[in-house]
Amino acid sequence: MIKIQEPSRPWEIIHLDWTNCLPPGGDRSYNAFLVTFYRFIKTQISFPCYKDDTAMDTALVIWNRATSWTVILTSIISVRAPKFTSELSPGRILRQ
């Protein structure tokens, strides 16, 4: 098992997970939550999303909703890491 780095400042490292299989709700019929956990300050924030969101959709949620009132993150830890690695490689992001 890989040892997880300890953050040295607030908002440096976040952990992601999803809560799926919810009934559609709200004016946009969201059916999932992106759950973010900030280890340094030990707080959790959830954002409504869709269960079939792509890695790019998730990155945009984080960029538009989380980093807008925090700082640029240095690490994101997720159980779905291979999906992010393949879909959000630097070369692919630059081409889009």
Q: Phi and psi for 16 in degrees, rounded to 5?
A: -120, 145
- Quickly list H helices, the chain: 55-61, 81-87, 90-95
Structural domains for the chain: 13-95 (3.30.420.10)
Q: What is the pTM of this model?
A: 0.65
- Closest by CA position to 77, among listed 6, 10, 20, 23: 6
> Strand 43-49's sheet: what is its strand order?
43-49, 32-38, 13-19, 75-78
Tokens of residue 66, six digits: 């989380």
At 7-58, the pLDDT tens digits run 787 777 778 888 888 899 888 899 999 888 888 888 888 899 998 888 888 8
